[in-house]
């Protein structure tokens, strides 16, 4: 097998995403053939070199891509010191090393992917690739189309510019409004923060689509494996 960058090997082995793997290397947690390595450009031969992370020897793994309909109340992390429920509990125990592609906050629900492929994770989450995610938000109070039209121009919140690629008012009455949004930036709690700018609280948030993959008939709390064709369709054409 040809040599690959150490951080890619770590990501392919299911240790962490590519960016998290880089932090492990820089922090001195990775050894190659008995020698601690902190240089990100280091290359390894997966068939010949021994790679150890925090005392555990790694092996290349078959790449997995799983879609989950996350229920509210689940965290998008591998562990939780407070022992709250995590999304990995919804999967078979032998897939415990899969990590989420991006995040949905604890109160949000809907489509999220889990994988052990660091390149796939990077290309779906890094803003430069611009993979769109579609959400349906239920918001307290009446909203007008003119109000949410600001989202496509960009609004400022806590020093950051937040922006929707597309926004549509689905329904609105005196108590609640339903809004559909498409985002490409992937910033933390971005949908909730957009509505906070307008002074409205999001009471329910569901992600219904990532790239061309829709939540569809996948029931809450259930999962399915993405097909090879679906995986290819998710990767930006210019960088796949």
Q: How do residues 203-212 score in pLDDT, each as one tens digit?
A: 999 999 999 9
What proportion of the chain, given as a percentage, has pLDDT over 90?
70
Cα–Cα distances in angstroms (integers) from residue 95 to residues 57, 62, 104, 114, 213, in the given order:
18, 11, 19, 10, 22
- Structure tokens that stand for 112 in this block: 């999220």
Predicted pLDDT at 238: 46
Its pTM stands at 0.76
* Sequence-distant contacts of 212-217: CB under 8 A, at least 24 apart: 213/67, 213/111, 214/111, 215/69, 215/110, 215/111
Please, how many CA atoms are within 13 Å of residue 104, restricted to the half-sphere of its CB? 27
What is the DSSP secondary structure assignment for residue 76, as one 8-state letter? S
In the predicted structure, residue 227 carries a pLDDT above the cut 90: yes
pLDDT digits (tens, 9 = 90+) for 160-176: 999 999 999 999 999 99
Catalytic residues: 105
- Structure tokens that stand for 154 in this block: 């960009």
Instruction: Identify the structural domains of the chain with CATH numbers, from first to last.
Output: 4-57 (3.10.290.10), 65-127+213-234 (3.30.70.580), 132-210 (3.30.2350.10)
In the predicted structure, residue 1 carries a pLDDT above the cut 70: no
Residues 52, 113: Cα–Cα separation, whole Å: 27
Predicted pLDDT at 43: 93
Residues 228, 149: Cα–Cα separation, whole Å: 37
Mean pLDDT of the region 192-199: 96
Mean pLDDT of the region 125-141: 93
């Amino acid at each position: 097998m040809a040599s690959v960058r150490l951080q890619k090997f770590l990501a392919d082995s299911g240790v962490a995403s590519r960016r998290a793997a880089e932090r492990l290397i820089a922090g001195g947690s990775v050894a190659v053939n008995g020698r601690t390595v902190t240089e990100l450009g280091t290359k390894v031969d997966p068939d010949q070199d021994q790679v150890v992370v925090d005392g555990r020897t790694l092996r290349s793994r078959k790449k997995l891509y799983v879609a989950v309909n996350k229920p509210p109340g689940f965290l998008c992390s591998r562990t939780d010191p407070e022992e709250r429920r995590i999304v990995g509990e919804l999967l078979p125990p032998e897939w415990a090393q899969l990590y989420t592609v991006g995040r949905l906050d604890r109160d949000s629900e809907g489509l999220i992917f889990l994988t052990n492929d660091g390149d796939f994770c990077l290309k779906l989450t890094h803003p430069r690739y611009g993979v769109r995610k579609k959400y349906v938000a239920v918001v307290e109070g009446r909203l007008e189309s003119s109000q949410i039209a600001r989202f496509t121009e960009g609004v400022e919140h806590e020093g950051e510019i937040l922006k929707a690629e597309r926004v549509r008012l689905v329904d609105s009455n005196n108590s609640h409004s339903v809004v559909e949004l498409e985002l490409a930036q992937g910033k933390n709690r971005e949908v909730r923060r957009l509505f906070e700018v307008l002074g409205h609280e999001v009471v329910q948030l569901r992600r219904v689509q990532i790239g061309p993959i829709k939540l569809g008939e996948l029931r809450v709390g259930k999962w399915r494996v993405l097909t090879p064709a679906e995986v290819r369709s998710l990767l930006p054409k210019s960088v796949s």
